[in-house]
Amino acid sequence: MISDFVEAKPFPKDMAGRMAATIRRLHGLPHFTRPKIGNYLTAMDRLVRRFQAAKTLPESATGEIFRRYDELVRVYPLNEEEMVSSHNDLKPQNIRFDGEQVWLVDWESAFLNDEYVDLAIAANFFVKDEAGEEDYLRAYFGEPAGKYRQARFHLMRQALSMFYAALLLMEAARAGLSIDADMVTPGFREYHEELIADRIDMLKAEEKRRYGMIHLREAGRAMRAARFEEAVEEVRKK
């Protein structure tokens, strides 16, 4: 509990490492006692399937993405005994840095979850490239992550991108906006820098549509790359 005002300072350049250490402390807490919601990956998958069934975008634009997503869902482990106390919404607006310490706020979505969920959400904002990813995971695990943990992390990032794409694009469609597979969007990293700077109003339907499409394209890009197939095989053989 924060019992005093936290004067927020700009995030430092080493924010990825600081977030890894903070998430490690969080996940080491005794298990939260609030009711379980079931397996989070299963819950995310139900929403992705609703998006798929709604045919918000044509099959020509999403068919390959969903086929590769099917591979991910088939191999990703659903181990209740691995669940840890998790925040589940580590966007910049829920993070404060006072010049020395990272504070996490807004615990409305906190419950027991797969450890890779918090890691993947924070990585979208603070991990810039694969080299930074390796350092980030090493800071969290306290040792080199190794192929299997790197693979789990990579797959969770794509699962979350599919979840966010489904959630945001369906919300935009319900608001009456058309969803165009060819719409022009900023790049994944560029848009997240704008989110970190708090220059985007995510309550606007237009921004939900834009961010949803950015996540869908990022998932598609990543799942078409060789690394995705390697990650699927690494997790499959465990």
Domain boundaries, the chain: 15-236
On the question of pLDDT at 7 being above 70, the answer is yes
Helices and strands, counts by H and E, the chain: 9, 4
pLDDT tier, 4 (very low <50, low <70, confident <90, very high otherwise)? confident
Lowest mean pLDDT among 37-41, 71-75, 161-165: 37-41
64 pLDDT above the threshold of 70: yes
Residue 35 pLDDT:
59
Mean pLDDT of 207-213: 98
pLDDT confidence of residue 44: 94
Q: Which of 78, 87, 88, 70 is nearest to 41 (CA)?
A: 78
Which pLDDT does position 238 carry in this prediction? 81
Q: Which CATH number is 15-236 given?
A: 3.90.1200.10
120: enclosing H helix or E strand: helix 115-126
Pairing of strands 102-104, 95-97: antiparallel
User: Average pLDDT, stretch 58-64?
Assistant: 94
Which pLDDT belongs to residue 147? Answer: 97
- Cα distance between residue 162 and residue 68, in whole Å: 11
Taking residues 74-84, report their average pLDDT. Answer: 92
At 112 the three-state DSSP class reads: strand
With cut-offs at 50, 70 and 90, classify the pLDDT of residue 200: very high
Contacts of 91 (CB under 8 A, 6+ apart): 121, 125, 195
Residue 197 has pLDDT above 90, yes or no: yes
Phi and psi based region of residue 141 (left: phi greater than 0; alpha: psi -120 to 50; beta: remaining): alpha
Cα radius of gyration rounded to whole Å, the chain: 18
Does the pLDDT at position 114 exceed 70? yes
